[in-house]
Amino acid sequence: MQFLLLGACIYGAYALFGTPDDEESQRTVYISEAQITNLSAMWEKRWNRPPTETELVGLVRAYMREDILYREAIAMGLDNDDHIIRRRLAQKLEFLTNDLVQMQEPSDEELTAYFEENTELFRAPDRVTFAHVFFNPDSRGDATLDDAAAALERLQAAGDPNGEVVEEGDRFMLQNYFVEASELDVRRAMGSGFAESVMQLEPGIWHGPLPSGFGTHLVFVNEFEPAPPPELADVRDRVLNEWRRVQTEKFDAEFLESLKSRYEIVIEAPEAFTDSVLEAGGKVREVAIPDGPPNS
């Protein structure tokens, strides 16, 4: 209901402050003090200084010229079937409605409830410290997996490497030791499949062989540090931004539904698209596809 009230506010404000449609107003170019102030502010934001009097006069003249040309273009129908103009106007309405939603502030109770329902979104990443030994399939060929399996037996017998260099495997172009790395850190270096596997390994023993985009690896996890549950006070800004994003999506959906109720939507579509069109809220008009070329 609150979203529908916001939508009503948009149209109410437009009715009060929007441009009238009578012919006289369409022939009047009115540049308000607020618009001049806005032109000056945009100049200052771009050039890091306020405009001079001469520059401000130039800005007003440019705005006047643009407004006149815009009105004449609309009068000539140049906006018809222009996808760029249509998309831009739709975006302006979206920006307006989104700004209204962003102005909303949830109560402490609402924000706390949202946080408790979505705690995992705000949890810090788990961390892992591990070493790995690389086996290069380019140089070892079909023997890669057998070599890795044999090395795994030797490493398991030796136990914890205690940070010492392991005399096994091949030279690796990146790091062989990761300290307190998140899954994202490992993914960026080694690939998603390898990272996902490493985060699930038991600490204190050697594992493998594990594949990556580079080749085959043996992995020793020194320590796995699960992230503690987040506290609302520590992530409040993130929670608020996410709450606003969700509210904006809800408002967009409800606002569009309220607008669609004012229109009869007819979509000419072949039979294969009928279900999709109906889900979109339209009425289907069957299209008769001619067997041959149209009569000349």
Q: What percent of the chain has pLDDT over 90?
A: 52
pLDDT digits (tens, 9 = 90+) for 85-114: 888 888 888 888 887 777 788 999 999 999
Tokens, residue 64: 């006047």
Scan for tokens 């993130």, then name that residue: 238
Domain boundaries along the sequence of the chain: 1-24+81-122+231-263, 31-78, 125-225, 265-296
pLDDT digits (tens, 9 = 90+) for 220-237: 999 999 999 999 999 999
Average pLDDT, the chain: 83
Q: How far apart are CA 75 and CA 72, in angstroms?
A: 5
Q: Return the CATH fold of 125-225.
A: Chitinase A; domain 3 (3.10.50)
pLDDT digits (tens, 9 = 90+) for 126-140: 999 999 999 999 999
Asked if residue 287 lies in contact with residue 270, where contact means CB atoms within 8 angstroms, the answer is yes
